[in-house]
Structure 1
Amino acid sequence: MNKLTIDTDYLLQVLGKLLRTPSPTGFTDNVVRLVTSELAAMGLDAELTRRGAIRAIRRGKDPRGARAIVSHVDTLGAQVKALKENGRLAIVPIGHWSSRFAEGARCTIFSEKGTYRGSILPLKASGHTFNKEIDTQPVSWDNVEVRVDAYAKGLPELHKLGIEIGDIIAIDTETEFLENGYIVSRHLDDKAGVAIMLAAIRALQHEGKETPVDVHFLFTIAEEVGVGASSILLPEVASLVAIDNGTTAPGQNSDEFGVTLAMADQTGPFDYHLCKKLALLCHDNDIRYQKDVFRYYRSDSASALESGADVRTGLITFGVDASHGYERIHLHALRSVAELVTAYVASPVKIERDFDQFSDLSGFTRMPSKKAKQELSIDAELADPDHDLHQGSR
């Protein structure tokens, strides 16, 4: 087994720090400073892009054919669209999420003069005033507003407070860490992924684990708006594994326990050979896993490919219930994904041809072409209670 022991106390501690640091897309400087300080404490130097995406390279035996692990520090949020005559704020979402989950949320408005607290409310918020209309008004961002917890009866007071169009609004996480391992919070996508990466790095550093190639640990700042890993990869990187949330919902195979390996998202299938390797590593390292396909989902890997990076991509996820809402995960999944990261970066390189960006057919990969042998009849398969385990969905 190549997997390392994960310090779950540290994982939960750093996740708490991340969740307490507001970081909607476009407002990520503070969380970038937090992540770089954690990396420095573990002996890794970080370099930042102009806008703050983080790259920390852990050196291996060979710089060629480097592996990259990526998660994103930015979260959903909102932005002031207009100052209203009634002293409240019209808003638009940052990232794709429903106003249904915004209704009732507490929030912080960041203005040039300081921060203000507030609540996101439907336009018709009082049953004593609007009676049944509170249940029939449409669900949309045009039907919510921010009530600022400061004296603001109209436009003059809002101007005096210094609140302006374009100001960023961070949504409270309302985090709960339960004794049974469940974690309930907003913004677990993808701060849980960041915590997983930091916990995996901590294990690698503590064990002094040598890797066959350099590992680029990447933390992006604009995944929720589709930018993601579009400008952070170096040419040496041959494979990119994203860490993000899997969607536990009807019709999906994701789970709040173990690793959920994504086989495809809305941009298409992930790399065949990399997915196969990740599944085999789970099997060989006794890491519980399942596979899933996501229809309305994209991650940092999509932006990397769309920007022209010629890398093999994969996506490993922790199952999240009510993604982009009031989310829930379990520590078991976080630990499992972190274990897989350590096993993956320490595993031997099987496709050495990937050390070069261009080459001939020598060493080029092959895919199965022969018809699979049927060791069991269809009736026997259906009668076998462990059939799913034989198929690798464990």
Structure 2
Amino acid sequence: MNIQPNETYILDLLTKLLNTPSPSGFTQRIMKLIATEASALGLPFTQNEKGGALITLKGKDSSRRIALSAHVDTLGAMVRSVTERGTLAITSIGGFMMQSIENEYCMIHTRSSKVYTGTILTTRPSVHVYSDARDFTREESHMEIRIDELVSTKEDVLKLGIMAGDYISFDARPVITPSGYVKSRHLDDKASVAALFGLLESSCREGWQPAHDVVLLISNYEEVGHGASSIPGGIHEMIAVDMGAIGDDLNCKETDVSICAKDSTGPYDYDMTGKLIQLAQRLNIPHSIDIYPHYGSDASAALRGGNNIRAALLGPGVHASHAMERTHKQAIFNTAKLLAAYVAG
């Protein structure tokens, strides 16, 4: 099967996803967006106890079930403490370089549902003041948030209702260029979520059915390692749809669908990986086959969780992962096409 994804639908949804804050564990709002999209397509939506989404697309034969997983949670931070100077010390959510968030705008989400804006800085933010500003080590204990409110003391901040444990989201700043590049934070893994919905939309619009039941698992704790550690029963195969890394000793480009043969947790299923490669070749989809030594996926979390499944990993190539990321729209569309071909049997 060679579907034609609705490109406008995918990019519009991706923009909505990118503009919705969702650090790991703070995904209630974006799950409402996922539920609305599933409902618009006429597909059943449920959530597991962790808050992850489950969407089922019925197949021609329900004797087998294939899971397609992508994660909607992102990197972020949390308020560690309020300083005496009226700034916020932070603790990170997910693994990123402190340099990648320096001077970035952010939002502070309080338990009372108030939202404040701020800027992430080092505690030595100016070369006009600090002689070591350039060489100052960018580490968590040296980072703070300057709040965009009239505060200068700890008491001022506490009166706003900001406290330890409040979530901090980073401004994604999504842009789609005329040349087709999509640049934004959090393409890992919202680009893959948009690709999966492109598959669903195509099935609903064109009326095709997968060979077997397909369960979409949109997880919400992947960035902290346990997103899909537990999956619904009766799953036989699982494909984690996550970003492809780009860099030294890797083949992947931003226009490619990345097929991962092995990551830091070990090799993926030989036959599933081989089938994905053959389908990409048959459909003339630009793709790469790579090994990711500093990477784990929802599929590897599911395997570590003791689930009796076969698993594979693929996704659109993303440059500068966990920083200011970029991919190309064709990689997202082709990810949807390759997955559709796989589930069609």
TM-score range relative to shorter protein? over 0.9
Other-structure match for 1:117:
117
1:140 matches 2:147:
no
Other-structure match for 1:239:
237
CA distance in 2 between partners of 1:290 and 1:253 (Å): 6
Normalised TM-score (structure 1): 0.86
Q: By how many angstroms is 1:190 displaced?
A: 0.5
Counterpart contact for 1:64–1:236, Cα < 8 Å: no
Tell which deviates more after alignment, 306-315 or 251-260.
251-260
User: Where in structure 2 are the equivalents of 1:182-197 lying within 5 Å?
Assistant: 182-197=181-196
User: Where in structure 2 are the equivalents of 1:1-394 lying within 5 Å?
Assistant: 2-113=1-112, 114-131=114-131, 133-231=132-230, 233-347=231-345
Q: Taking every aligned residue pair, what percent have the same amino acid on both sides?
A: 36
User: What SS class does the counterpart of residue 44 from structure 1 fall into?
Assistant: coil
Normalised TM-score (structure 2): 0.98
- What one-letter code is carried by the residue in structure 1 that aligns with 2:269? D
Q: By how many angstroms is 1:255 displaced?
A: 1.3
- What one-letter code is carried by the residue in structure 1 that aligns with 2:278? L
Counterpart contact for 2:117–2:147, Cα < 8 Å: yes
CA distance in 2 between partners of 1:118 and 1:299 (Å): 31
Q: By how many angstroms is 1:260 displaced?
A: 1.1
Counterpart contact for 1:87–1:155, Cα < 8 Å: yes
Counterpart contact for 2:244–2:257, Cα < 8 Å: no
CA distance in 2 between partners of 1:254 and 1:109 (Å): 35
Tell which deviates more after alignment, 13-22 or 49-58.
49-58
Q: Deviations over 1:59-104 (max 9, x none)?
A: 1122222111110010000001111011101001101111111100
Unmatched 5+ residue regions in structure 2? Answer: none
Counterpart contact for 2:252–2:258, Cα < 8 Å: yes
Q: Deviations over 1:278-314 (max 9, x none)?
A: 1111112221211000000001001100111111100
CA distance in 2 between partners of 1:110 and 1:258 (Å): 36
CA distance in 1 between partners of 2:20 and 2:333 (Å): 22
Q: By how many angstroms is 1:169 displaced?
A: 0.2
CA distance in 2 between partners of 1:258 and 1:327 (Å): 15
CA distance in 2 between partners of 1:53 and 1:174 (Å): 25
Q: By how many angstroms is 1:56 displaced?
A: 0.9
Q: By how many angstroms is 1:235 displaced?
A: 2.5
Counterpart contact for 1:69–1:217, Cα < 8 Å: yes
CA distance in 2 between partners of 1:212 and 1:338 (Å): 16
Q: Deviations over 1:241-300 (max 9, x none)?
A: 011111111221111112111000000000001001111111122212110000000010
Q: By how many angstroms is 1:236 displaced?
A: 1.6
Q: Deviations over 1:217-258 (max 9, x none)?
A: 110010000011112x22221100011111111221111112
- What one-letter code is carried by the residue in structure 2 that aligns with 1:307? G
Tell which deviates more after alignment, 184-193 or 207-216.
207-216
Q: Deviations over 1:333-353 (max 9, x none)?
A: 111111001111101xxxxxx
RMSD: 1.0
Work out which of the two has the higher radius of gyration on C-alpha atoms and give 1 or 2: 1
- What one-letter code is carried by the residue in structure 2 that aligns with 1:39? A
- What one-letter code is carried by the residue in structure 1 that aligns with 2:60? K
Counterpart contact for 1:83–1:155, Cα < 8 Å: yes
- What one-letter code is carried by the residue in structure 1 that aligns with 2:3? L
Counterpart contact for 1:63–1:236, Cα < 8 Å: no
Do the aligned partners of residues 225 and 23 (structure 1) sit closer, same or farther apart at CA in structure 2, a change above 3 Å counting? same
CA distance in 2 between partners of 1:202 and 1:313 (Å): 24
Tell which deviates more after alignment, 146-155 or 48-57.
48-57
CA distance in 1 between partners of 2:2 and 2:97 (Å): 38
CA distance in 1 between partners of 2:210 and 2:80 (Å): 49
User: What SS class does the counterpart of residue 24 from structure 2 fall into?
Assistant: coil
CA distance in 1 between partners of 2:249 and 2:85 (Å): 44
Counterpart contact for 1:64–1:237, Cα < 8 Å: no
- What one-letter code is carried by the residue in structure 2 that aligns with 1:111? T
- What one-letter code is carried by the residue in structure 2 that aligns with 1:165? A
Counterpart contact for 1:220–1:229, Cα < 8 Å: yes
Unmatched 5+ residue regions in structure 1? Answer: 348-394
Other-structure match for 1:370:
none
User: What SS class does the counterpart of residue 5 from structure 1 fall into?
Assistant: coil
